[in-house]
Structure 1
Amino acid sequence: MNVIVELRQYTLHPGARDTLIDLFEREFVTGQEAAGITLGGRFRDLDDPDRFVWLRSFPNMAERERALRAFYFGPVWQAHRDQANATMVDSDNVLLLRGPGFAAPDAEGPVAVTICHPLDADAFAHYFERDLRPALAAFGSPARAVHRTEHAENTFPALPVRTGEDVLLWFTPGEAPPLPDLSAHLKTAPQQLRLEPVRA
């Protein structure tokens, strides 16, 4: 079942990532869940010590607005927002997506996310299902939790999301998979993030 998903990439002040993760795991997981938000995977970027990546999901856009208002105007965020914001350089790198969400696998080890900006979103989605997904599976790097851009209006503008772009992305447990030449299908080279799941 597909839901509304946010993929959030935070740029943090040098050395502040573990401070935010400790606060996040202690206060913001249960705080968001109490507001009706489903938390997905939380990750350290293995190639950028100042990047924290995480996901959360909502049944629909109306519930997203309700849940975000409940959390950000509620007591948990109000009590800890200054401490959290002090760790951040930028928290606006957010993709609004539709897909199944993604929780970090239980096993230890890295996770990769591959983010593609197609020239034609529908044509690339067709190519992905027909050609690229089977090729990845045959290589031993099956694509999981495939997401596409959700173009609905951001009804909680206090938290910006990236607009004016289409993406298709997927997750792969393990190392980032090798990809064929996708230049005929994409506006830019694919972005691949190597991520380490946060362990509560």
Structure 2
Amino acid sequence: MEPPAVIEPPTVIELRQYTLRPGRRDELIELFDREFVETQEDVGMVVLGQFRDLDDPDRFVWLRGFGDMAVRHDALAAFYGGPVWAEHGPRANDTMLDSDNVLLLRALSDTTGLSPAAAPLDTTGLTRALAFAVSPSERPCPGAPAPDRFVSATVWSFPPGREGGPALIRDGLVPALRRTGPGPLAVLTTETAPNTFSRLPVRTGENVAVVVGSYPDEEAYRRQLAAVQADSLVRDEILPGVEREQTAAPRTLRLAPTGRSLIR
């Protein structure tokens, strides 16, 4: 089946972090990129990105998206109950020690209540920037070399049920990122709907904001980070506000895309 040239940005996203048996990450990536990309998309989901974690040689990180929670249930049931997973799933599972570190997320695309820092921006453009926009037709073929790119995914954690932290990320930090360099590929927050596919657990009791960015290399990422931190509004108001809200220090995943990752 030919992949669509463009798709609607997925509104439900899984951020999946797998801890693997030592030395087996490349084995899983080769299998995944060959067998588990188009076959998942054929049943209604989109494989957004596959990555090597630069801080852990035995961690594989990937994201996939769905149109909504009902689509997610039906797509997962079709794939994990289908012939491809029956044939190749046991080998994939054999590479893993843990596959339950999963954040169930949604695109943070509401532009209501924008702060003065965001006012000069085109809010339509801001909305587009908060959700992944991908074209599966542009995905390289199996065996393609990994691109020389750097992807960051920074996760902030806040008390469950409180919207202040994610709103500060959306209304304050995202405009600062757009002012100082490439805007984020997506800004995500916790999907609060119950996990209706219990065969695949997700982390519960979470309230996070996740900002995903892409750069030519890690040095470009560090330059933008320094520029954002030097911004007076960010330094004096936004970051102190985020720190008052957060329950833990933010964690940044430093990621290298695989050859077939759409996010790169």
- TM norm structure 2: 0.70
The one-letter code matched in structure 2 to 1:114 is T
Pick which of 60-69 and 99-108 moved more. 99-108
Higher helix share: 2
Any conservation in 2 of the 1:3–1:59 contact (CA below 8 Å)?
yes
Distance 2:191 2:70 in 1: 13
Distance 2:92 2:201 in 1: 17
Shift of 1:135: 2.4
Match of residue 74 from structure 1 = 82
| Count of paired positions | 200
Unaligned runs of 5+ in 1: none
TM-superposition CA deviations, 1:10-35 (whole Å, max 9, x none) = 11011110000000011111211121
Distance 1:88 1:102 in 2: 30
Match of 1:57 among 54, 65, 70: 65
Any conservation in 2 of the 1:112–1:192 contact (CA below 8 Å)?
yes
The one-letter code matched in structure 2 to 1:161 is V
Give SS of 1:67's match. helix
The one-letter code matched in structure 2 to 1:159 is L
Distance 1:66 1:138 in 2: 40
Match of residue 91 from structure 1 = 99
Percent identity of equivalent pairs: 47
Give SS of 2:177's match. helix
Match of 2:149 among 100, 104, 109: 109
Give SS of 2:243's match. coil
TM-superposition CA deviations, 1:115-142 (whole Å, max 9, x none) = 0012464112322233222222333253
Give SS of 1:35's match. coil
Distance 1:122 1:159 in 2: 27
Any conservation in 2 of the 1:56–1:101 contact (CA below 8 Å)?
no
Shift of 1:196: 0.5
Name the CA shift for 1:65/1:113 in 2 (closer, same or farther; >3 Å). same
Unaligned runs of 5+ in 2: 1-8, 108-130, 140-146, 230-238
Match of 1:193 among 237, 240, 253: 253
Match of residue 161 from structure 1 = 202
Match of residue 144 from structure 1 = 185
The one-letter code matched in structure 2 to 1:52 is F
Shift of 1:43: 0.6
Distance 1:93 1:23 in 2: 20
Alignment RMSD, CA only? 2.2
Matches for 1:23-62 after TM superposition, within 5 Å? 23-62=31-70
TM-superposition CA deviations, 1:83-123 (whole Å, max 9, x none) = 00110010000000111347599963110000001246411
Match of 2:21 among 2, 8, 13: 13
1:171 is the counterpart of 2:171: no
Name the CA shift for 1:39/1:50 in 2 (closer, same or farther; >3 Å). same
Higher strand share: 1
Give SS of 1:157's match. coil
- TM norm structure 1: 0.91
The structure with the largest alpha-carbon Rg is 2
Distance 2:55 2:36 in 1: 25
Any conservation in 2 of the 1:40–1:102 contact (CA below 8 Å)?
no
TM-superposition CA deviations, 1:39-83 (whole Å, max 9, x none) = 101111111111111111111111111110100010000001110
Give SS of 1:136's match. helix
